[in-house]
Structure 1
Amino acid sequence: MEENIENARSLITKWDANQSPYAKLTPLFYGDRQEARQYLNAVRDLQSAMRYLVVLDSTSRKLVQTHLLMQAALKRLEKEFYQILSSNRQHLDPESVSSRRSSTDRRTSVSDFDDDYSEDESREARSVAGSSISETERVSMAAMEDLRAIAECMISAGHGRECVKIYKIMRKSIVDEAMYHLGVDSRLSFSQVQKMDWEVVELRIKSWLNAVRVAVTTLFYGERILCDHVFAAASEKIAESCFAEICKEAAMSLFGFPELVAKCKKTPEKMFRTLDLYEAITDHWAQIESIFSFESTSAIRLQAVSSLAKLGEAVRTMLTDFESAIQKETSKKPVPGGGVHPLTRYVMNYISFLADYSGILADIVADWPLTLQSPLPESYFRSPDNDENPSSEISVRLAWLILVVLCKLDGKAELYKDIALSYLFLANNLQYVVVKVRSSNLSFLLGEEWLSKHESKVKEYVSKYERMGWSKVLSSIPENPTAAEMPAEQAVVCFRNFNVEFNEACKKQSSWIVSDSKLRDEIKVSISSKLVQRYRVFHEKHRVGLRRRSGSDSVMRFSPEDLDNCLSDILDVGGDFVVRMSHSVTAIAAHTSSKTCSRNRGNGSSTQFSTM
């Protein structure tokens, strides 16, 4: 014992900064740390000696001297502990610690203070490990081992409070600084968020989404690893206490921000950022639970759960308000040309974006049954394809929202005085809905049966438009023009009636549009197949006979090719339709008699268009 005390005195005195300029400038834990190991062993020997002396004679001079020696040693270790934390901020930052975890899990950690290794064995192990880790990792691992060794020695010597205090102060400053750089404001209150413009709040949300990813996967994770490592041999309670005090304030601020946003006024444009916040927490929930598994950090877990609950409530409120807004839309002005209504575009774009969050929404609406404000059965909007789909509840809710807007469009179709145009309006809008569904995640959610049913409805609307818009033109030509002979006078009347009706139909539909190019082409082909073929037969049957009659050839104003040219220009989107139609009329006029052509040219193209 005497020998151990003397050896300890020699070593401790050597590293006493008050007695040695060298010790004042040189770290003890430097280089291969052989002497640092000896220093820690000397402190342990002093501790054993003090226990023996207390039992032998608690008032002996030797005990007092040993105690003073121990105080000097612990003061030196306290300084070393602070210096290691301070000088290795870069190597002990949470990102380095957390990224290194995966590599250290696959390798045996080499400690200069592991008594199970001889010096030669330790050197050999360090050499093997050194071949697969970077210099930064090596420095970081050494610093962590130094801190653990010092913490264990100081805590076992009853000097843990000073050690823990230094650790908490140093590491909390790092966490707080990191949160500041991530844009997390711990002083932000609900009243401040409530007064902000939404654009400002949205910028803060974007910043938060990045911050929560970094904080959970790197910052808090790295601090938990470091705490557990440094105090592993000392006490789990100490590790828990340190981690909780270092991270609690920052974590509470981080996970409290979504709740502040959720409590603000709900409007449809806030839906997607609210879902982003919800998704970010749920995506990291397993890590949050693991990192903050201590009882002392349960408040952090509860704050994250509370934010999820508030965000879910906000989303449900916004969905309800969104449906209500569709039903309350009161515009009375028909869309020009029977095109796609702005309400259709807005609602379908909104719903297709919602479909991208179907997994999150399914979780939010799981315990929120759909309450219908209508006697319609679910078969109107529920597809059997989705009965076994895990997202069936959100599928039903989205299908219901689409049904609400379609019902609204039925009412808006009544604003058109022309019935054919009202059906064209319905076809345009339902086609937009179908295309939007098929080209988005709604296709998966609503299913093929839903799509087939609504595609059939589009064809039904188109069929009604064709019947109402072109029936007079078709009826002006005999349904079976080759069935029986027709007197020339009657044929002349038919051609004249056809000219009037065809001109009227083209004139009326000059401003009508079909936005979807595929549907537009299908409609043109359909009209052409019904009209041009019948006209071609009738035209060929009477063309020669009527031209023999003086002045009668002028009633055949159109050739079958002329009809195709005119039909190719109807329902196009854009303002150049009338110009193109005028060009078509000019071309058609070239096929008439010279007398008729002269008269029409004299009257101008607009007259030609109106009397065609």
Structure 2
Amino acid sequence: MPIKGMRSLLFSPKVSASTSTSTSPSVSHFPLPSRFGFSPSKPSFSESVMNRTLEMADPIIMKWNPETTTFAKVTSLFYDNRKEAFDFVKWVKNLQKAMQLFITGNSNSEKLVGAQNLMQIAMKRLQKEFYQILSMNRAHLDPESVSTRSSRTSIHSSISDYGDEDDDDIRIVKESITEVEDASSIAMADLKLIADCMISCGYAKECLKIYTIIRKSIVDEGIFKLGVEKFSASKVHKMDWNALELRINNWLNAVRTAVKTLFNGEKILCDHVFASSDSIRESCFNEITKEGAMILFGFPQNVAKNSKKSPEKVFRILDMYTGISDRWPEIDSIFSFSSTTTIKSRALTSLVSLGEYVRTALYVFESDILKDSSKSPVAGAGIHNLTIDVMNYLSALSDYSNILSDILVDSPPPVNNSEPESYFGFTDSVESPAQPITRHMAWLILVLLRKLDVKAKYYKDVSLSYLFLANNLQYVVVKVRASNIKNLLGDDWLSKHDSKVQQFAATYERLGWSLVTNSLPRDPMAVRTREQVKEIFKKFNSLFDQVYRKQSVCVVLDSKLRDVIKLRLARKIFRGYQAFYNAHSVSMQRERNSTTVVRFAPEDVGHRLSSLFFSSNNTM
């Protein structure tokens, strides 16, 4: 305290007799001069300050000594009389300043020993008060209440916008919000007042011990209630996936609440209570949160390191990666102290492990595509189960494109540069590099298409091979267009593969129906003789019957592709036959057994072509 302040303290009016009598029974039992060794000689300035401080501080401190009065033992100073509590803290601080001024050259003074004893009594009282406030206000000082105080203030303001309506519900809400805010604010202010006093008086260790014991128990309890447990590596390795997935789901919910509420609330409270000391704030927050945070952020690493790298489990792993990466700015801010670096390191290590899991699982997925050994042709040249499984998987995977770009940035797929660009599907240049997930997605689709090329060769009828390729590539294109893969691969990729579908379909039409289309003359009127006409009708009848029976088992599940193929066939077969029929059917009716020569009317041909490519399951 400055000299001017000490003088004002020294020459302030004395406490009245009534005050001294009511504050402490110790005053009458121990007259101050004899109790603190006051000298009858003229005191020095520091002695005068000490004498005056002891005279004022002793009654209020001794009144709240739990070892001398039952009242002090069962009553809370801050709860019973807040004004007296503030006076108590003020005189404890004054006592500390007086001791600092007096200690020079008087280290062995009986008066200094007495002041120190009084200080210890005061500190025990403040420790008790500190503990009581923390214990009795657990509900008002829970991390959620602390971390959302500003939110409550906003709600309170918005409710006030309704005006002074005589509405019981609004009144009750206002009162409850105000009550919670007041209780939380008062408790936080009292804790800070006590902490500041104890730290300034050299009792930081005692204050910190109480705080960490109580608040650490709250954090640990919070982590447990969120369903996060500490598992050994061997236990995770042996755990059934369904059981592990349940714990992963618990973790996903827990990490959101823990970061936003639990750790954030503790940081706010700790920063407020120990605002007077950066080092204490840091030490305290680290001590409170380290164990719980290490369990929380260590769980993903444990899962990633000790679980089988399986493609179907990737989505849960990606969810965990997202759970940390999306909250990294908050994690980085909350655990900003140098002593909490190990917590952030644990979170980053988990991210690395999760990323390694995903990369490995994707290589396993690619390997599974290549290893597919089914050789039985799909009935009707329809869509292969491999195509369905792969595209469903990639469609779901594309929803994590941003995360996957981070994970795959340093692990590009082994693209075979010998493949023509039209087959791979997109341009990746130095001037315009593709995202890692784009390259990987295009590569996995290419691996699938290569595998489908191999499977197409299992058809004995080459035309069915091309219909199989058209069906499956169309399925791929439709799935790409309907999912986030479209945003990754782009319109150019879709355009190139759409063209490829049309090429496969055209090849199928040519190989599958060329015998029928070639049986009809380009110019119906160029046929002159009845024998030639009769021969053309008979040939068409036979070939159309034969090809139709073979192709009637085929399916085209995509309605647009089905309509395109049927329209092309109608143009080539129906129109050609209709023109020839119109030119020669009348002359053929004069022939004996004309019905065996002209077996089909144009409408019959049209109906048969229209009925092609349907099955009991003709939707994609």
Tell me what 2:411 maps to. Answer: 368
Equivalences for residues 175-574 of structure 1 within 5 A? 175-186=219-230, 188-233=231-276, 235-263=277-305, 264-372=307-415, 375-376=418-419, 380-381=423-424, 383-384=426-427, 392-481=435-524, 483-574=525-616
Answer whether contact 1:385 1:447 (CA < 8 A) is retained: no
Aligned partner letter, 2:271:
D
Tell me what 2:113 maps to. Answer: 64
Answer whether contact 1:171 1:246 (CA < 8 A) is retained: yes
Quote how far apart the aligned CAs of 1:369 are.
Answer: 3.3
Q: Note closer, same or farther for the CA distance 1:379–1:335 as it changes in structure 2 (3 Å cut).
A: closer
Aligned partner letter, 2:577:
Y
Q: 2: distance between equivalents of 1:249 and 1:67? A: 37
Tell me what 1:605 maps to. Answer: none
Q: 1: distance between equivalents of 2:392 and 2:155? A: 48
Secondary structure, in 3 states, of the residue corresponding to 1:434? Answer: helix
Q: 1: distance between equivalents of 2:53 and 2:95? A: 7
Answer whether contact 1:492 1:552 (CA < 8 A) is retained: no
Cα deviation 1:113-134 (Å, max 9, x = unaligned): xxxxxxxxxxxxxxxxx99973
Q: Note closer, same or farther for the CA distance 1:379–1:260 as it changes in structure 2 (3 Å cut).
A: farther
Quote how far apart the aligned CAs of 1:105 are.
Answer: 11
Tell me what 1:140 maps to. Answer: 184
Q: 2: distance between equivalents of 1:61 and 1:105? A: 56
Q: Note closer, same or farther for the CA distance 1:494–1:565 as it changes in structure 2 (3 Å cut).
A: same
Aligned partner letter, 2:606:
D
Q: 1: distance between equivalents of 2:337 and 2:154? A: 22
Quote how far apart the aligned CAs of 1:446 are.
Answer: 0.9
Tell me what 1:40 maps to. Answer: 89
Q: 2: distance between equivalents of 1:388 and 1:203? A: 46
Equivalences for residues 121-132 of structure 1 within 5 A? none
Q: Note closer, same or farther for the CA distance 1:446–1:373 as it changes in structure 2 (3 Å cut).
A: closer
* Percent identical residues: 54
Quote how far apart the aligned CAs of 1:436 are.
Answer: 0.9
Answer whether contact 1:232 1:239 (CA < 8 A) is retained: yes
Cα deviation 1:168-212 (Å, max 9, x = unaligned): 0100100001100111112x0111111112222222222111111
Answer whether contact 2:375 2:458 (CA < 8 A) is retained: yes
Aligned partner letter, 1:486:
R
Cα deviation 1:198-245 (Å, max 9, x = unaligned): 222222222111111111121111111111111011x11111111111
Q: 2: distance between equivalents of 1:347 and 1:31? A: 71
Q: 2: distance between equivalents of 1:410 and 1:337? A: 16
Q: 364-373 or 170-179: which moved more?
A: 364-373
Aligned partner letter, 1:350:
Y
Answer whether contact 1:281 1:304 (CA < 8 A) is retained: yes
Answer whether contact 1:292 1:301 (CA < 8 A) is retained: yes
Tell me what 2:40 maps to. Answer: none
Q: Note closer, same or farther for the CA distance 1:167–1:190 as it changes in structure 2 (3 Å cut).
A: same
Q: Note closer, same or farther for the CA distance 1:435–1:472 as it changes in structure 2 (3 Å cut).
A: same
Quote how far apart the aligned CAs of 1:31 are.
Answer: 7.4
Task: Compute the RMSD of aligned alpha carbons.
Answer: 2.5
Q: 1: distance between equivalents of 2:433 and 2:326? A: 18
Answer whether contact 2:92 2:119 (CA < 8 A) is retained: yes
Answer whether contact 1:382 1:396 (CA < 8 A) is retained: no
Aligned partner letter, 1:504:
Q
Tell me the TM-score normalised to structure 1 length.
0.85
Secondary structure, in 3 states, of the residue corresponding to 2:526? Answer: coil
Tell me what 1:114 maps to. Answer: none
Identify the match of residue 27 of structure 1 among 41, 57, 76: 76
Tell me what 2:198 maps to. Answer: 154
Q: 2: distance between equivalents of 1:375 and 1:390? A: 19
Q: 2: distance between equivalents of 1:573 and 1:347? A: 23
Answer whether contact 1:281 1:308 (CA < 8 A) is retained: yes
Q: 2: distance between equivalents of 1:455 and 1:442? A: 15
Q: 359-368 or 452-461: which moved more?
A: 359-368
Equivalences for residues 31-110 of structure 1 within 5 A? 33-55=82-104, 57-101=106-150
Answer whether contact 2:425 2:497 (CA < 8 A) is retained: no
Quote how far apart the aligned CAs of 1:267 are.
Answer: 1.5
Aligned partner letter, 1:323:
E
Cα deviation 1:414-448 (Å, max 9, x = unaligned): 10011111110000000011111111111111111
Answer whether contact 1:184 1:254 (CA < 8 A) is retained: yes
Q: Note closer, same or farther for the CA distance 1:242–1:379 as it changes in structure 2 (3 Å cut).
A: farther
Aligned residues: 551
Quote how far apart the aligned CAs of 1:103 are.
Answer: 7.0
Tell me what 2:53 maps to. Answer: 4
Q: 2: distance between equivalents of 1:522 and 1:382? A: 23
Quote how far apart the aligned CAs of 1:78 are.
Answer: 0.7
Q: Note closer, same or farther for the CA distance 1:248–1:377 as it changes in structure 2 (3 Å cut).
A: farther
Q: 1: distance between equivalents of 2:457 and 2:528? A: 42
Q: 2: distance between equivalents of 1:4 and 1:211? A: 53
Q: Note closer, same or farther for the CA distance 1:389–1:273 as it changes in structure 2 (3 Å cut).
A: farther
Secondary structure, in 3 states, of the residue corresponding to 1:416? Answer: coil
Q: 58-67 or 419-428: which moved more?
A: 58-67
Q: 2: distance between equivalents of 1:383 and 1:537? A: 45
Tell me the TM-score normalised to structure 2 length.
0.84
Quote how far apart the aligned CAs of 1:388 are.
Answer: 6.8
Q: 2: distance between equivalents of 1:366 and 1:575? A: 41
Secondary structure, in 3 states, of the residue corresponding to 1:29? Answer: helix
Aligned partner letter, 1:447:
G
Q: 1: distance between equivalents of 2:153 and 2:267? A: 15
Cα deviation 1:42-71 (Å, max 9, x = unaligned): 111222333344346444443333333222
Q: 2: distance between equivalents of 1:406 and 1:415? A: 15
Q: 2: distance between equivalents of 1:105 and 1:67? A: 47
Q: 2: distance between equivalents of 1:389 and 1:14? A: 80
Answer whether contact 1:334 1:415 (CA < 8 A) is retained: yes
Q: 1: distance between equivalents of 2:203 and 2:215? A: 19
Q: 2: distance between equivalents of 1:32 and 1:468? A: 100
Quote how far apart the aligned CAs of 1:560 are.
Answer: 1.9
Answer whether contact 2:412 2:440 (CA < 8 A) is retained: no
Tell me what 2:16 maps to. Answer: none
The unaligned stretches of length 5 or more in structure 2 are: 1-48, 157-173
Q: 2: distance between equivalents of 1:418 and 1:391? A: 40
Answer whether contact 1:154 1:160 (CA < 8 A) is retained: yes
Aligned partner letter, 2:286:
A
Answer whether contact 1:5 1:45 (CA < 8 A) is retained: no
Q: Note closer, same or farther for the CA distance 1:388–1:181 as it changes in structure 2 (3 Å cut).
A: farther
Cα deviation 1:22-47 (Å, max 9, x = unaligned): 43443222378222111111111222
